[in-house]
Structure 1
């Protein structure tokens, strides 16, 4: 399978038969979405700790 986590066997087959160009387009869009979200979150302080800081009690 090209990608994991499809909601159905039909969806998995669609991805499996897509071409490399389309896979590059999907990956580029995902990358752009993540980069945009990371840029928006950069510099923002959280009101409450999370992740490792929360586990450490910081």
Structure 2
């Protein structure tokens, strides 16, 4: 393995094994499902795949923003529906 590290100039402490962590996290952040990540890494168990996925503060902010967007969209939709319903009731009366 030393030659595989030496030729591209990788540090002595570099472990190719660590690339699983590097690969899993961005793939799931890009929209890959757990099953997609498992296939890409050649893993057969979800437990093994989850070991290599990480969630940092940036990802948690992205998830929170996505949830916020969904809630706001639903509220806006219901608000629009309520206004239309009230207009129908007003014109029928």
User: Normalized against structure 1, the TM-score is what?
Assistant: 0.46
Larger Rg: 2
Q: Which has the higher helix share?
A: 2
